[in-house]
Amino acid sequence: MGEFTLELNEDQKQVRDWLHGFAADVMRPAAAEWDEREETPWPIIQEAAKLGIYSLDFYAQQFFDPTGLGIPMAMEELFWGDAGIALSIVGTGLAAVGVLANGTEEQIGTWVPQMYGDANDVKVAAFCSSEPDAGSDVASMRTRAVYDEAKDEWVLNGTKTWATNGGIANVHVVVAVVDPELGSKGHASFIVPPNTPGLSQGQKFQKHGIRASHTAEVVLEDVRVPGHCLLGGKEKLDDRLARAREKAKSGERVKNAAMATFEASRPAVGAMAVGTARAAYEVALDYARTRVQFGRPIIENQGVAFQLADMATQIDAARLLVWRASWMATAGKPFTAAEGSMSKLYASEVAKTVTAQAIQILGGNGYTREYPVERMHRDAAIYTIFEGTSEIQRMVISRALAK
């Protein structure tokens, strides 16, 4: 277990600078084009794969960094480059985390490599949890998985929504109800292998921000997957359901598979928000230093300077919360005060505030697409929504305080 530190080691600094170079030289010049096209930036993903950024090895190295800072550091730099393109690069990671959190060693070794492909034939993966009537309210999930014992197959039916890479993914990880009487405790996660009949893409969403990332519905119609595609295996599921039934009688709370995935990823989402906020702040700072009004740079006006001071302070505070939560998760320290939700909540709100302030500092220029801050502001809106809205984070935090 690594000690908590605010100083990156030399290896981490090298990785940070490497990622920053990719973000500055490859992602930023292409950001406006792919935002306008609203398409998956396959050439950028392939370039990331050739360099080793989009790969299982790189993701694993950062995930298993003993300090816990590998993932948040990587997320901040990539999302500093561009949120839409970055989400296309890292979106597969949520599905990978779903397998890492709930799968067996054999399942991890079999399916996670197939999520990425290789530099010559890149693939993506999708984590499918949300539904049209079940976003934050996971207990309302309707997608069903029924076990066909005679064939040792699970049959999945339902519709998922808001799925990053949904329908274009090589591997889909689908959360479904296996015991409706247990509500959210009766959920399980399944691998849907490539080219499985019955899985199709539904509506592709045209979004306010992160438009270079593919978001769509996933429709499941009598999708049959082998028994070994149940993450964790049937014996483990049966044991968990039996315990859930017993605990339900006593009123004790039980976590479900989808929530385990989201809890593991919330500090990473906070780091994404920090990256976007930092990018907008840097644009505003540079503009304020060079924009001359009434004979002097506008940064010499207290109204602008104080805004920038607040922006810098909020970004640093958000990063500290993210780093603490990331270190705690790696060190195995429980989030007794909902530290993971705190980091995601605060960083998400900071991203919205800072990007809005950046537009204000740039004035009319900030409102145009000639400058990137309007895109950053559109992108920032997603952080307070996906993987648990700000309202859900506040609910989690308040429940922790009430214990």
Q: How far apart, in whole angstroms, are the C-alpha atoms of residue 151 and residue 154? A: 9
Nearest CA among 289, 271, 269, 267 for reference residue 279: 271
Residue 310 identity (one-letter amino acid): D
Residues linked to residue 189 through DSSP beta bridges, in sequence order: 175
Nearest in space to 167 (alpha carbons), one of 219, 229, 115, 232: 219
Burial (CB count within 10 angstroms: exposed 0-12, middle 13-18, buried 19+), residue 19? buried
Q: Which DSSP state fits 131?
A: B
Asked if residue 159 lies in contact with residue 167, where contact means CB atoms within 8 angstroms, the answer is no
Catalytic annotation, residues:
387
142 neighbors 158 (Cβ within 8 angstroms): yes
- Please count the other Cβ atoms lying within 10 Å of the Cβ belonging to residue 51: 16
What does the angle CA 202 – CA 208 – CA 214 come to, to the nearest 5 degrees? 40
35: exposed, middle or buried (C-beta count within 10 Å: 0-12, 13-18, 19+)? Answer: buried
| DSSP SS3 for 179 | coil
Find out whether 270 and 348 touch, Cβ atoms under 8 Å. yes
- 387: closest CA among 221, 262, 216, 208? 262
